[in-house]
Every structure is written in C-alpha cells, then in structure tokens.
Amino acid sequence: MKPLMYLLGVYFLLIVGNLTAQNHYDKEIAQSKRFIDSIINAEKAMLKSKLIDIEKQLDNRAISTSTAKQMKQKAAEEAHINIQLKTKQVANRLSVILRQKVDKKHALSPADSIEKKKLNEEYNIVIQKVDSLKKEQEPHYNNGMRIDFGNNHIYIGEKVHISKGNKYGCDGEDLEFCYTKKYKRTQSGLNFAIGFHNLNSKEHFSNDHFRLWGSKSVEIGYTRNTRLLNNTNLLHLTYGLSWMMDKLKMKGDEHFVKEGNITKIEPYPKETIRSKFKTIYLILPVNLEFDLTPPLIYKDKKYFPIHKQFRFGIGGYIGALLTTKQKVKYEEDGRVRKDKNRKYYNVNEWTYGLSAHIGYRGTVFYARYSLIPLFTNNPVNEYPFSIGIRFGD
C-alpha cells in the first residue's frame, strides 16, 4: 500500500509542478507579447505624429518636397531602429521561454505528440512575429520606402500611407499572385461624367438661347485600359462603351420646330415653365492616355497600377443616335401640363468628335467637341460640345 501511496504522491507532485510551470511560462509569454505590442504602438503613434507635422510644413510651403521626403524617411528609420532596440532583448527572451516550454513538455510527456505539435506551432508563430520586427524587403514605389511592423505597414513617399493588415489592397500572403492578378496589362472599370453642354457655330461660341446651368451632358460608361509599353507605365490606350445624354434647356418661351429639312428655334404659343431638348447616344470613346503613376516593385519584379498619380489624354469618339426627345412644361387653365414629343428633328444619326482630359487619380476634367453638326441641312451648322468632370477608371 505504501509504495502505491508513494507513487501517487510523486505523480501528484509532478502534475502540480507541471501546471505551475505551465502557468509561469504562459504568464511570461503573455507579458512579453504585451510589452512588445506596447512598444510598437507607441513608436507608431510618435511616427504618425511626426509625419503629419511634416505634411503640414509641406502644405504651408515651409519646406520643399525633397526636404519633406528626407525628413519622412529619417523619421521612419528612427522609429524602426527604436523598435528593434527596445524589443530585441524581450523578443530573444520570449523565444527562449517558448523553447524551454516546448523542451520541458517533450521531457515530461514524450508520447503526447498532439500537444508537442501545438507547442511547436505556437513557438514558430512567435518566432515569426519576432522576426517580422526586422525591416523586410517588401513592395515599394519608386522614390519611396516602406517599413513593416508585423501586419502594419507605413509607406513613405510623396504622401504618407499608414495601413493595417493589408498590402496596398492585396490581402493575404501571396502578394505575387495578388499583384499579378490585380495589375494586369489590360484593366477595366466603370465611370460617370457630368458637364456643361451647348452648341457652337461660326457665328457664336455658345448659343444664347440655352441656359448655362440647365444644359448638361451626362455619361455612364465602361472603359478598358491597356498599357502599350512593356517596361514603363507612361502610355495607355483607353477604349470602351458609354451611354451619353445631352440636354439643352431653353432660356425663354421657346422650343425646337421642324420645318421640312430644317430645324429651328421658335416661340412656344404658351408661357412655358420649362423647355428642354434631349439627345441620347451610344458612343465608343478611344483615347491615348499618359499616366504618371510609378511602377510597383516586389521581389525585383515590376507591376503597373493605374490612376494613382496625374494623368492626361487626347482622343476621340464615334457614336450612334438612340433617341431624341423634346419636353415643354407650361401652365394652362390653372393646371401644369406637359408636351412631350419624340419626333424626328433632323438630328444627325451619327456623331464623332475629339476629346481630351486631365486629372489626378480617379477624377479628371474633360472636354468633348463634335465634328458633326447637331442638325442636318440647317443654314448655320451648330456643333455640340461639353466641358465637365468624370469619376472612375
């Protein structure tokens, strides 16, 4: 009986000792992790404050762009060095504790392979986190630099970008696959444009019959963008398909009237509240675009994002008329009435013209000028033109 009691006592002491050691290791590991996280968060906050202050100085023209870039790089490097120095001892201690925990578990229960595997995985995860404190060879834009703290990234370039848990829009570990898929040679997207619309002729630049604010052009389209050169992001061909609506709004009590092959503006027989004339087209825009976005470099390979910097382009368009519509709103016998007419107003069934745009990132100012007059056979040819703003790719 006594030997059995001795064995049970020894077993109990081993269990208690193991649990005590386990709790001791877990507490030290958790404390070390919290300490490392607090250092990283404090340095990140200080760095962010410095970078914002540099941006303010740049905006106020107290420093030049090149000086600002140097100051940002210096601040980021100092933060990186501080993190390495402050966390080095704790990180090394953490890896030792974890290894002792794994080795002790191996010695106490060599048959427990599942527990060993979990401990080894935990050890490897912590070591990876410790290693991630080092400056890595991660993707960067030309003339810029990037610093990583675990899953958090700070990019220093013309502007400061601080992100958490993503790599320039690519989530996950396989960045090479993500960049290859995202930054293809041909990319596509939707766009929306709105602008002022009017008619131009040899006699006048814009027709005085139409309201400036009420006459507008609206466009909704799908665009494809193909990079033309192999090793530079400068030159692109953009093309697509767009629905375009041009509207002319009369200033006074007037409307368009068709007289044979001629379409002219005449007074409306009643006092109008609103009078407008719409043409709707399906157009095919084609442009040569110059994009100043620098390439993205990852593992010595170039990727070419688009519309991240200034861009401008010239080109043209061709389209077909879908429908015309005139709508006059007036008051009669105390009631508001509408006169809607979809008659054929001698509008050219085809259109083509020139276009140009300039802008930054996803927003550009554009101009479009038709080389075909709006109406056929009129004594004075009037050419539609639009000036406005476009959003999207």
Nearest residue to 278 via CA among 338, 345, 220: 345
Q: What is the pLDDT of residue 377?
A: 87
pLDDT in tens, 306-343: 898 999 999 999 999 999 999 999 888 878 888 888 87
Under the phi-then-psi rule, with left for phi > 0, alpha for psi from -120 to 50, and beta for the rest, what region is 35?
Answer: alpha
Distance CA 393, CA 388 (A): 16
Contact 185, 227 (CB under 8 A): yes
18 Cβ partners below 8 Å, 6+ apart?
Answer: 108
> What pairs with residue 365 in β-bridges?
358, 389
- Reading the block at residue 32, the tokens are 């070390």
* 321-323-329 Cα angle (round to 5): 140
Q: What is the pLDDT of residue 388?
A: 97
pTM over 0.85: no
Q: What is the pLDDT of residue 192?
A: 97
Nearest residue to 236 via CA among 316, 311, 301: 311
Distance CA 385, CA 369 (A): 4
Q: What is the pLDDT of residue 119?
A: 54
Domains of the chain: which residue ranges?
24-136, 185-391
CA Rg, the chain, in Å?
34
Q: What is the mean pLDDT of the chain?
A: 78
Q: What is the pLDDT of residue 98?
A: 65
Distance CA 87, CA 7 (A): 45
Q: What is the pLDDT of residue 45?
A: 84
Residue type, 148: D
Q: How many CA atoms lie within 13 A of 205 on its CB side?
A: 2
Given a cut of 70, the residues of the chain with pLDDT beneath it are 1-26, 29, 91, 94-95, 97-177, 203-207
Q: What is the pLDDT of residue 273?
A: 86
Residue type, 85: L
